[in-house]
Every structure is written in structure tokens, then in C-alpha cells.
Structure 1
Amino acid sequence: MLQRSRLGSSRCRAKLPLFCHGHPTAVIHYRWAGYSPFTGDGSDAVSATKNPGPATPLYWPTPLHDVLQGYSWILENLAPQLYKRRDVYIFGSYLGASLATSLALTEARPHHRMAVRGCVAFNGVYNWTMFLPDHPINRAPKSRSSTSNILEEILGRPQDPGLLDLKQHAPALFKKPDNLFDPFASPCLFFHTPGLHVPRTFTKPVDQDYAALSSPSPSSSPSSSLLPLSEFLSSQDLTPEALLSGLAQKPPRMSPLVFPPRKSTLKIPQTLLLHTTAPPPPPSLQRRRRRRTKKEAPNNSFRTQANELAGVMRRSVDKIEMKERLRWDEDYEGWEDEAVRRVQVYDVGLGEEAFGLPRLGNGLVEAWFEDRLTR
């Protein structure tokens, strides 16, 4: 289980979910300042240590390093003796869900005696680039109706307060927009390219953010202005005008990637993705939404995040793993449904407790564990 450390507090005990009771559980604490849903958390931007030297910055990728170090300790100290096997299942929620899925995807090795076999994630953000203005999911809906109707359509979409809270704190959590493109933070990007230019800021579209480059101030040089660009664009010897012309073109196309790599021993793990339902919009907006028959485009929500990750993981099982297996095992039965069985998604309804897994979710996880531990 991955648990965010409550910095500045002498009590760092994690409250185990109900489904963990009765199972041997190791808790990995990670440090990630910038988002403090707990009162009296005392989180700071750096870690104070007794040892002299520079303090550890508590934004990305520090939490990833903490998790990897904790997992390495578990493998070294809790590995079974002789030729026995031991299965590891990971659980994480909210910020921990991103870390849990990334760890599972990169440590699920079926042939190892002790390795990750499965993962349960609740209300995770699996593609942080969805928070950027240039992501297609954030484009204004195309409509010939009036501006007021477009605004009503946007406001009428269900909104996840927890997701909006994470979006607001993304600059403190990641420090630089580049970090949102790290696949270990956004595990969907293990399976496809982002299809976006890397912006300089978290809140402005790329074309607006670089508009100032067309008329740089006397005190700044074009080379210094280009430094924050994505690695590719910043390596080009372009004038500001040429740069803006390039940015005006369509963003790079989103392309699928092969994951796991064909020559690796990794395998898509058994995965259960849980998400809550966004609270409904105000009654007045609900009535107007019922009148519309046109299918609405999805907005960024915990449901959308879970469905995107499930989609790319299932595609990997179908297009890579099953295709390869059928080459030497033509009699393999049940391959048509293997991807859906392997990667499951469930809506657990409205959240009953702040940042807690609802009772329906606990029941689903207990049944999911029971099915796998008794095989």
C-alpha cells in the first residue's frame, strides 16, 4: 500500500482500508508536498533532515524515488526462502494511485519468484497532461448556439471536486510542466505519445505563452527565451517568428507505443481501477441537459482517467500479448475476453468519506482479492 507521509507530524501511521485487514500489509510512505488535504499536515516544500547538506525538494520526482526505494527494501527483506513464490499486490488512491499503477506496470514480472502480480487504484490521475489547456479534452465544445449556451453546456458537465483540487495544486506538485509528461507520473504515456507540445506554464496554451517571443524585450536574448521549450524545439536554431509559425501548426500526433517492450519480461498486471461518480450539476442545469439528445464529449474526471488507462492497457493485452501468444498456442481459449478480465473498471458511486474508499469499493476489492488469492 502506498501512503503519502504526513510531514511534520510524529504520527505517520496509515489508516488501512478494510480490505487490507487480515492480509500481510507493508506500507510505503512517500513525500510529496504541495497538496495537503489533511489539516495540520505541516507540509513544506523541502525535507528537513538532521544531516547537513542540501534539503530534498518534495516535488516530483522525489515521491517516485521514495516508492522505488521502499519497494526495493520489501524485495530484499521479505522475499521467500528457497524456491517459494510470493505475490505482491499494490494499492494506492489519489496521488498514490498514479504511483501504484506505474510501479505495477514496471515491476509485474510473472517469472520472478517475488514481484507485482496485481494493482488496485482508486481515483487516480493517470494522465496529468489532461490538465493542460492544449489537451483536446479541454477544448470548448463546437456549437453554433450562442455564447451563453456554450457556457451553460460547460457548467452543466459534472465536475469532480477532488480532481479540480489536484489540478489547482499541480504546479506545486510537479514544479515544471515537463514533469507531467513523465510516464511514471502519467502511466498512460507508457502506451502512447502525449500528442502535445510541452508548455512553459501550467495555465496558458503554448501559442499564447510564446507570443511574447515575437517581440522580445531588449534585456532578453532569443536564446534565453527558448530555453524553457520542450527538448526538441529548444534544440532548434529558430527565430521567434519561425518558432511561432511552427507552434501554430497542429500539435504532434498522438501515436501508440509498444508497452511492455517486446523483449522485456514484463506483463500487464491484473488491475482493478475504481472511481467515484462526480456530483451532479445544479438542478437548473440538469433540466437543460436532459433536453439535449446529442452525445456529449467526455470531460476530465476520475471516470475518464480510469477509462483511458484501462483502454490502453487492454489494447496492449489484445494487440501485443495475445497476438504473440496465438502464434505458438493456437488452441488458447478465452483470449477474446482476456483483456477485459485482466483490466477491470468499476464506478463505486458518490464518495462517502473525504479521500476514503466507499463501502461498495471495499466490497469489490475484497471479492477481487479473494478471486486471485484462491487460484
Structure 2
Amino acid sequence: MFSSLRRRCFSVLRSAHRPIRKSVPVALYNVDEFSPPKALIVHLPSQPDSPNGVRQLPEFLYDRPVASINYRWATERPRAASQDDDHLDDSVDWPVPIHDVAFAYRWIADALKPPAIGRGGIYVYGSHLGAGLAMSLSLTESHPHKRFAVRGVAAYNGVYNWTMFLPGHKVRGAKSPRDALRALRRENGNLRLDALGDRLVALFQEPHNLFDPFASPSLFFHNPGLAIPESFYASPALASLVSAMKGQHDVSEEEETLGASRRSHLAFPPRASTLKIPETLLLHDAPSKSPLHHHHHHPDDHRHDCRTKRDSTTKSRSGVVDTRHTFMAQAAEMASFMRRSIGMVELKERARWDEDAHKMAREPERRVRVVEVGQEGEELGLNDAGQQAVLDWLGSLNIR
């Protein structure tokens, strides 16, 4: 059984208009404040909890030192604020969630760091909404030289690129204005992604927030190649088609304009920084059966087809590429950019002084792992196979 403590970390950061943050609730489990742990798990839950609620930890974390951050995020609108709800300062809109996580992390890293010259590691685990936040935190706080910093991150069913919800994104298949109309009618490959698609306005308020790298951490690595649309559900291509239907201009000209924006790679971590791509485990549910295969997904399907021995891909056994927006597609894109960074930035730099650098050809795949844990279940939590995959990953890092 685990023991718990409840703490609030306070921020003095103020903006010109209103406080960005007054306090962030942090629940500590199995942590002796007078004997800091060498390895601490920072837990970011799947969604915000009530201010005084105690969220159940995943079972695999029961016996480990854990700091769970109860970040705020408006997931529904309209929401009438309760008069006795002191958890709501003025707003819980984006970017409040990432501010909450950043403030809490700074408190955790300072309050629980090893004494004197001791070193320790922070390993971040997040699921669903917490998974994207976990990835942003880890990518920007993984400093190997620091005595106590992020060393690894495990994320389950994360959205790492929210622009994938937009009709103009390549995953949605909108290569032309007419494709944009079809894309609006297509469902995502996971039921929970459909639910998030319905919440875009509540979560982000304005489309430009989807392009914030702290919301969409894959955008640390690349330019999305998309114009910021005026609404969440109408891409520039669709707007072009609507205008053409009204006789305002020629669609063919607009198609050429839309094709002018190309996705390009960015250098991350920046050359001058001390950041390093952390040890990473990306877990995701399997996509629902693709319409291409004439099957139907049943939400009560609890088969746990855990594929821990090989990475997931977006290509089915029949060779048909699934171009839907899925948790698999999110994880695959995030992993590809992180691995590319390790190979093109870190290992290329290392080759200049290490004659044995060529022996690390498999380091990108070892450092960034992807595991499919089975079909979606009714619960948000990670299933038994997924929890075992995290335990095996921690064990491979000698985190017992």
C-alpha cells in the first residue's frame, strides 16, 4: 500500500492582466521528504481532476516514489464556475495546463532533489491529455548534466500533433479542396480521438493554439506545412471550395497556393542547448478496424494484442496503409522525428570525436520505443499488458 502527501507549489509569476497561476496541487506518494528518492516518477493524469480529488494512480506506480500533478484544463464548454471552486483562478484555457505543469515541475525538481552532490532521475508518465503535456515537459527538461532532471518519458495514447485534427492535414487525406469535404465526414481510427475532436474548441479556443509546440510537441521538430485556418473544422482548402461555389474565385488557383506551404524539418534540440532526447516509450491502443478492410470496431472489444517485441507501424499486414488519424499515427510521427533527431543531430555530432559511434546505429530505435497494447477498452487507464510494458522499460533502464 502506498502512502501519500498533498502539497501545493506556489508561483509568483504575474502577467499584466491576471495571475497566470496561484498554486498547483501536487500529490506525493511513497516520498520521504527527508530522504529524496534517486528515481522519481512525475505522473500527469489522463485529464484534470477536481481540486480536492485524489486520482487513483496506475497500479504499476503503487510502490514507487511519485509526484502527481493535478493540472487544470477546460475540457468542456460552457462551464459555470462554482463559487467555492478555488481551483479556478480566472481561466483554465490553454496555455494554463502547460504553465501548471512547468510550475509544479520546478517545485518538484527543487524540493525533492538529492542532497549535496548526489544525482537522481525524473521519469515522466502521462496518459491521454497528460501524455502530450508529459512529452512537452520531457523534451524541454531533459538536461543530462543536471543532478536532478528528466531522464525518460512514457506516454500512453498521446496527442503529440493536434494539427492532425485539421481537415488539411495529410493524415486526413485532404490533398485538394474537394478532399477537404470528404475529410470532414471521416472518422478517426480511435473512438477517444473522435471525442477529442468534438472538444477542440473547449480545449484550445482558437485554431492557432494547435500550432503551439508545447501543445503539439512534434512541432518542435518540424514545420507543420499547414496554414492556420480560421476555424477548427474548415481548412483553407475547404474555405477555397466554398468561395468557389459562391463564384468568388477559381479553385484551381487556390490549389496552387495551398500547395506552396511545405513541411520542413527543424533542428531540435537546438545546437547550443544542453538538451538531449530522453529515453522514451510511446504506448498506444490499436486503431479500430479500417473501413478499407470492411470490418467494424466494437468498443467492448478487450483483446489485448500487446506487441512489445516490435515497433508499431501504420501499415497493416495486408500492405494497405491506414491514413486515418489514430493514436498509432500520433505515436509513429512523434517517434520518427525523435529518432531522426538522435541520428542526424546527436550521433552525427558524436561521430566527430568517437571512432565507435558507428556501432550505435540502432540507438535511435532503442532510445525511442513504440508499443501497441491492444484494442480500446471502456476505461482510460492502461491495461495489464501496457503496464507490464512500462515496468519492463523501467527495468531495462535499471529503474527498479
What TM-score comes out, normalization by structure 1 length?
0.78
Partner of residue 351 from structure 1, selected from 376, 384, 388: 376
- Which residue matches 2:225? 195
Partner of residue 29 from structure 1, selected from 52, 70, 79: 70
Q: How much does 1:61 deviate?
A: 0.4
Please identify, of 332-341 and 91-100, the stretch whose mean Cα deviation from structure 2 is larger.
332-341
Paired with 2:202 and 2:321, the residues of 1 have a C-alpha distance of 32
SS at match of 2:66: coil
Partner of residue 335 from structure 1, selected from 337, 354, 360: 360
SS at match of 2:63: coil
Unaligned runs of 5+ in 1: 37-42, 215-239
Partner of residue 102 from structure 2, selected from 63, 68, 74: 68
**Are residues 1:171 and 2:201 paired?**
yes
Instruction: Rate the CA distance shift 1:359–1:200 in 2: closer, same or farther, 3 A.
Output: same
Q: How much does 1:247 deviate?
A: 7.5
For 1:1-12, list aligned pairs within 5 A. 1-3=43-45, 4-7=47-50, 10=52, 12=53
Give the alignment's Cα RMSD to 1 decimal.
3.4
**Are residues 1:268 and 2:281 paired?**
no
- Tell me if structure 2 keeps the 8 A contact 1:31–1:63: yes
Q: Which has the higher helix share?
A: 1
Amino acid at match of 1:129: T
Amino acid at match of 1:33: A
- Which residue matches 1:227? none
Paired with 1:248 and 1:283, the residues of 2 have a C-alpha distance of 30
Higher-Rg structure is: 1
Instruction: Rate the CA distance shift 1:294–1:339 in 2: closer, same or farther, 3 A.
Output: closer
Instruction: Rate the CA distance shift 1:165–1:318 in 2: closer, same or farther, 3 A.
Output: same
- Which residue matches 1:99? 133
- Which residue matches 1:44? 79
- Which residue matches 1:217? none
Paired with 2:120 and 2:152, the residues of 1 have a C-alpha distance of 12
Work out the number of aligned pairs and report it.
327
Unaligned runs of 5+ in 2: 1-42, 297-316
Deviations for 1:32-61, whole angstroms, at most 9, x for unmatched residues?
Answer: 11259xxxxxx937686788xx94221210
SS at match of 2:163: helix
Deviations for 1:247-269, whole angstroms, at most 9, x for unmatched residues?
Answer: 85114110000000011000000
Q: How much does 1:334 deviate?
A: 3.4
- Tell me if structure 1 keeps the 8 A contact 2:168–2:237: no
Q: How much does 1:5 deviate?
A: 2.8
For 1:1-375, list aligned pairs within 5 A. 1-3=43-45, 4-7=47-50, 10=52, 12-35=53-76, 44=79, 55-139=89-173, 159-209=189-239, 249=257, 250-280=259-289, 285-286=294-295, 295-332=320-357, 334-374=359-399
Structure with the bigger RCO (C-alpha within 8 Å, sep 6+) is 1
Instruction: Rate the CA distance shift 1:278–1:295 in 2: closer, same or farther, 3 A.
Output: closer
Paired with 1:330 and 1:66, the residues of 2 have a C-alpha distance of 44
Q: How much does 1:281 deviate?
A: 5.7
Deviations for 1:255-298, whole angstroms, at most 9, x for unmatched residues?
Answer: 000000011000000000000112336899239xxxx9773342
- Tell me if structure 2 keeps the 8 A contact 1:33–1:45: no
Paired with 1:119 and 1:275, the residues of 2 have a C-alpha distance of 14
Paired with 2:145 and 2:82, the residues of 1 have a C-alpha distance of 38
Paired with 2:119 and 2:98, the residues of 1 have a C-alpha distance of 26
- Tell me if structure 2 keeps the 8 A contact 1:274–1:361: yes
- Which residue matches 1:226? none
Identity of aligned residues (%): 42
SS at match of 2:352: helix
Paired with 2:242 and 2:344, the residues of 1 have a C-alpha distance of 45
SS at match of 1:26: strand
Amino acid at match of 1:44: R
- Tell me if structure 2 keeps the 8 A contact 1:47–1:58: no
Paired with 1:311 and 1:30, the residues of 2 have a C-alpha distance of 28
- Tell me if structure 2 keeps the 8 A contact 1:98–1:185: yes
- Tell me if structure 2 keeps the 8 A contact 1:271–1:342: yes
- Tell me if structure 2 keeps the 8 A contact 1:47–1:56: no
Q: How much does 1:75 deviate?
A: 1.3
